[in-house]
Structures are given as C-alpha cells and as structure tokens.
Amino acid sequence: MEHAGHGDAHGHDDAHGHDDDDHIHPEPTTFLSKYVFSVDHKVIAKQFLFAGLFWLAWGGVMAMVIRWQLGYPGRPVPVLGEFLWQENGGALPAYSYSSFFTMHGTIMIFFAITPIMIGAFGNFCIPLMIGARDMIFPKLNMYSFWAFFIASIIMMTGFFVPGGHAATGWTAYPTLSTTIGQPGHGMSLWALGIFVSGASTIMGAVNYITTVIRLRAPGMGYFKLPLTVWGLWLTSILNALFVPVIGSAGLLLLMDRLFGTTFFIAGSSIIQGQGDPILFQHLFWIFGHPEVYILILPAWGIISDLLAFFARKPAYGYKATVFSMAAICVLSVLVYGHHMFTTGMSPLLSQGFMTFTMLISVPSAILFLNWLATIWKGSLHFTSPMLFSLGVVFVFGLGGLTGMYLGNITTDIYLHDTYFVVGHFHFTMAAAVFLGSFASIYFWFPKMFGKMMITSLSKVHFWLTIVPLTYLFGAMHIVGYGGMSRRLFDLSRYEFLWHLQPLQTSISISAFLLGSAQFIFVFNFFYSLAYGKKAAQNPWAVGTLEWQIPTPVPHYNFAEIPLVYNGPHEMSRPDMTDRDWLAQDEPPPSTPAKRGEPEPTAEPVAAE
C-alpha cells in the first residue's frame, strides 16, 4: 500500500514535469542526495533533530559542570576535571566558568531549541499537516540546514582557540564583549556563529511562512490549520522580522572588534570612543524579547493540539488560542525595555514598557483557560506526549506567574539579574520548551522513524524529569529572592549569601538527577530507532493529515493532495459511533451546523 502510493506520486510527477514546481523533486537515488544534501523536508527535519540533540547534550553537560561549581565550589569536577583543568587541580577556573555559562545559554537557545523545535518539527510538521508535498523552496531548506551546520562548526571552533570561548553571558553586552573585555578570538567567532545561525533561521522562516501561505491543501483555511502549524508559523514571522535585528547587532559588534569602529565603545577615563553600549542592549532585546516567544510559541501550538488529541476533544476556543498567540507576538515587540529597567532609561519609557509587559498576562491567561477547558470533561489518555504536555502547562504556569515580579520596575529593582531571573526564564524557555520538545518527539517519532518508542520508559522519563526540574528551577527563585546575583562563580565573597549554600547544593543534586534521567530518553530513542515495534499508520488515532498517510511517509507525502473538510481536532463527534476521531480530509458524516465556514467546494484536483 505504501509502495503503491509512492509509485503513484512518482508517476504523477513524471507526467507533468517537475520543472514547473520548485517543491516537487524526484526521489533521490544516491546516498549523498538522500541523506546528506537532501532537499526532502522529512530528511532535513531529522538532520536538524540529530544536530539539535547533539547540541542539547553538549549544553546539558556544560550545565552539569556549572551546577557542580555552584553546588561544590572549588572541588575538582568529576571525570571532566582531570582532562580539562589539570593545572587547577581539576577544579573549574573562574574564566572557564564564565565561558561555560555563556556557551550553555548560547547553545541551548540557538543550537538546541531552535533546531529541535523550529528546524526539526517545523520542517516535519508544516508540509505534512497542511497537505503539501514539501516546503515551497526545498533547496533553500537544505541551505538552511547547512548554514546551521557551518554555524555549528564556527561555534565549536571557539572552544579551541587560545583565550577560550566567549565569556560574557549569552547577552554579550558591550563593552565587555568588545576587545576591551574579550581580546581573544572566541568572542568574534561567537558573533559570527550567531550571525550565520541567524541566516539559517531566516532562510527557514522565509520558507515556512511562504509554504503556509501558498501550499495549504484545498479546503485548508487558516482556521483549519492545526495549532502546531499556527505556533510554528507565528514563530517564523517573529523570526523573519527580529532575527535580522540581532544580526545587525552581531555585525556591528564584529566591526567594532575587527575594524575598529566605535558603535558600542563609549568614552570613559581610559577608553576613547563615542559609541553607546546601551545601543547594543536595545538591539539585543528588540530581538531578545520576541526570541523568548519564538522559542515557546511552537511548544504552545503543539501542546494545544496534543491536549485536544489525548483528551479526545476538539481544542477549546481554537480561535481564541490563535488570537492570543498572535496578540502575544505583537506585544512581545513592545516590551523589550523591561530587560533594561536598571540602565537609567527614561522613566516615561520604563513605565510604558512596564504596562505593556503586564498586558501580556491577559492573552496568557486565556491560553491557560483554553488548555484547562480542553481537558475539562474530556476522556484523558495519559500517553507520554500527553504527560509532557500537561507538564508544559504546569511549568509554564510557574514560569509565567514569576514573570509578574520581573515585568514591574519596582520589584525588578531587587530581583533584576538575580537567580530569580534565572529560575524564571528556565521555567519558561527551558523547562516548558524542552518538555514540549519531548512531547513532540514522543508524539511524532512513529511517523518520523516508523517505530514506536517504549511507553513505560517514556513515562518513567517524564516523572524523573518533572520532579527534579520543578525543584531545581523553583529553588533558584528562592536563591534569587535571597539576593544572589546571577553568573556568580562563587558566593563565598558575600556573607549575606552564605546561608544559601546548602540550598545551592541541593539544587545541584536535583540538576544531576535531571541530567541522569535524560539517559533514559537517550536509550529509549536509540533503542526504539533500531529495535522498536513497527508503528501503525495512525497509532494515536487522530485526524490531522500526517496520520492519514502511510508510515513511513513516502517521498511525496501525499499520493493525492487531500481535500480538507474539517478542523484538526474533530474528536468524539456525537454523530460518529464507530470511532471517536474524524480525519481532516474525510467528509463529516452529517453536515456541521456551524455557520460562517463555507464547505470546501473544490474538487480534489490531484485525483484526476
């Protein structure tokens, strides 16, 4: 059956000539064109996934070293210490510590979350969920991955240059990030790496946006898109608009470092220059605040779908969810100044930023309402994707609420740049996003690789992740509330923080637990890849388009371009008795009574 579908698509293509359409390409035959320089969105998705998981592991190990230093200051780092810091008795030196937290942040944001959430699931889900045969610009898609690959190499090189990698924090504020504070080449490579990875992201974003605009299957109106696609699409729009801003900041920083311009170098008693270090902060946060939504929006979209799927209910308030996400995108542009309350910004501006920041809580509250109402009166199946989705709701609740303290100038005075901030953004950007990633991996693994993952292991993975994770980032809030600045190598210089050391140690222990729990996932992932049970076409019994085609997905995805009749989560319809889901491309058994949404009239063209 798979092969029949496959051959069909192929024949089709031959008949009409693939030259006409960029996104229709013949099936590759050589190893290189099939697995390496592939233009197939499904293969590129896997490439991004593996690259992202590699960097996730790398960044995770760095986090463990950071936590070791904070939990057991000055003690030799187990295993790694002997190799890396022999001259320091195996203990982490302060310079390396700075470099580690800088690269931990950079890697996790630009090289782990971005490729996994946007690169892998964006590539995999968008064409399959909208009923397209590939991205609209498949070659650009390939370039996007290889640009990411080059960026990865540049970033990796930084670890091996004399003077070490960038050590300014991922925010790279000048003048610390100019040659005044960072004379080595590590920082220049960092800026270049960010620029190239930004180029990769923009290529992806242009592709995603255009694909959703142009290649939706007939009948697939914007409000019939799965929320996953909405999340990814909105993220792409933010990416296309705001990644260039960090690109410009990176370029100007590089010019300051390499060509002697003085954009960010201000005059002081020992430095000559007429630039403005605050300018970088403006550019950075104009990008930086949308960036946190860039990272979380796909997760929001995905869990909105998954909660509906496994509650066997239509997503509650579909349009409200979409509009809330869109409203947050708009607001995210207007609030960046809340990262700069302590820089002596004009009071009027500060208060404007504060007000807009607070406003974000309204659409966020509506998102929560919709998620909770979706599972209300559902029929909840606690599969592993569902568990992780519920986990996202829980940790994002924590992360969102702790944001109230930081969006407000008055309370931010005390909490700015403390561990409170670290805990807050790890709940939102790290915990919520990675739980969302795991949910996606567990959910789409069968479609991606044609194998099932081991359910029992994935549930153990969930519980061993969510418990230490909540403690770990929750306790960071307490440490920050106690007044500890972030990015401190060692708190022993500050007598008022001494009483927090035991808490820090306990945080580290729970971080190590969290880290070790991920081995369960690694094992599950690779074991299932090799020996997993063969996956059925639609193991979760859901109605979105990607589950209506064979597993593994044939090269052309859809033998016939589907004609879409329904929304993405038509579950538990009273007029259906044999099963509780309705595929998107399946005519509904009775005419839906809803008005305002015209029935698709177009004939399935590809069926000719």
CB of 386 closer than 8 Å to CB of 542 = no
Q: For residues 456 and 577, which CB has a smaller minimum distance to other proteins in the complex?
A: 577
Written as six digits, the tokens of 210 are 């255009």
The encoded tokens of residue 379 equal 């029929």
Write out the binding residues for other proteins, residues 48-87 only, by CB under 8 A. Answer: none
Instruction: Specify the stretch interacting with other proteins by CB under 8 A; choose among 80-88, 150-158, 317-325, 532-540.
Output: 317-325
Residue 595 binding other proteins, by CB under 8 A: no
Peptide bond connecting 175 to the previous residue in cis, omega within 30 degrees of 0? yes
Nearest of 273, 2, 32, 129 to residue 585 by alpha carbon:
129
Choose the binding region for other proteins from 29-37, 153-161, 544-552, 571-579 (rule: CB under 8 A): 571-579
**Segment 234-273, which members bind other proteins (CB under 8 A)?**
240-245, 247-249, 251-252, 255-256, 259-263, 265-273
Closest CA to 151 of 62, 31, 48, 237: 48
Question: Peptide bond before 552: cis, by omega within 30 degrees of 0?
Answer: yes
- Nearest 5°: the CA angle 76, 82, 86 is 85
Nearer to other proteins, 532 or 562 (CB): 562
Contacting range for other proteins; rule: CB under 8 A; set: 153-161, 438-446, 492-500, 521-529? 492-500
Taking the C-alpha atoms of residue 452 and residue 384, their distance in angstroms, rounded to an integer, is 12
| Helical (H) or strand (E) element with 245 | helix 227-258
Q: Which of 3, 87, 495, 578 binds other proteins (CB under 8 A)?
A: 495
Residue 235: cis peptide before it, omega within 30 degrees of 0: no
Residues 168-197 that bind other proteins (CB under 8 A): 168-169, 171, 173-176, 180-181
Among 452, 478, 529, 541, binds other proteins (CB under 8 A): 478
352, 266 in Cβ contact below 8 A?
A: no
The answer to whether residue 160 forms part of the interface with other proteins (CB under 8 A) is no
φ, ψ of residue 315 to 5 degrees: the values are: -60, 130
Q: How far is CA 334 from the centre of its chain?
A: 21
User: Is 333 a residue that touches other proteins (CB under 8 A)?
Assistant: no
Burial zone of 31 (CB within 10 Å; 0-12 exposed, 13-18 middle, 19+ buried): exposed
Which lies closer to other proteins via its Cβ, residue 35 or residue 95? 95
Choose, by CB under 8 A, the member of 22, 27, 179, 452 that binds other proteins: 22
Q: Is 502 in the site for other proteins (CB under 8 A)?
A: no
Of the two residues 381 and 534, which places its CB atom closer to other proteins in the complex?
381
Nearer to other proteins, 252 or 448 (CB): 252
Q: Which of residues 352-371 bind other proteins (CB under 8 A)?
A: 354-355, 358-359, 361-362, 365-366, 368-370
What is the enclosing helix (H) or strand (E) of 261?
none
Residue for token pair 């006409």:
20
Return the number of the residue (57 or 180) whose C-beta is nearest other proteins.
Answer: 180
Bridge partners for 451 per DSSP? 534
Residue found by looking up tokens 């709701």 in the block: 393
Q: How far is the CB of 516 from other proteins (least distance, A)?
A: 27
Positive or negative, the CA dihedral 80, 82, 84, 88 is positive
Task: Indicate which single residue of 3, 29, 83, 574 sits in contact with other proteins (rule: CB under 8 A).
Answer: 574
Cβ 357 to other proteins shortest distance, Å: 9
> Phi-psi region for residue 234, left (φ > 0), alpha (ψ -120 to 50) or beta?
alpha
Question: 313 — phi, psi (to 5°)?
Answer: -135, 155
Is 25 within 8 Å of 18 (Cβ atoms)? yes
For position 463 contacting other proteins by CB under 8 A, the verdict is: no
Shortest separation between residue 44's beta carbon and other proteins, angstroms:
17
From 16, 533, 534, 579, residue interacting with other proteins (rule: CB under 8 A): 16
Among 90, 450, 474, 482, binds other proteins (CB under 8 A): 482
Binding mask 397-436 for other proteins (x = CB under 8 A): xx--xx-xx--xxxx-xx-xxx------------------
Q: Binding to other proteins by residue 30, rule CB under 8 A?
A: no
Nearer to other proteins, 295 or 360 (CB): 360
Among 92, 120, 205, 335, binds other proteins (CB under 8 A): 205
Beta carbons within 10 angstroms of residue 410's beta carbon: 9
550 binds other proteins (CB under 8 A): no
Q: Which is nearer to other proteins, 83 or 344 (CB)?
A: 344
Question: Shortest approach of other proteins to residue 31 CB, angstroms?
Answer: 26
Do residues 536 and 89 make contact, with C-beta atoms less than 8 angstroms apart? Answer: no
Query: Please, what's the largest Cα pairwise distance for the chain?
Result: 80
Q: C-beta of 46: minimal distance to other proteins in Å?
A: 23
**Which residue from 499, 530, 531, 591 is in contact with other proteins, where contact means CB under 8 A?**
499
d(C-alpha 202, C-alpha 70), whole Å: 37
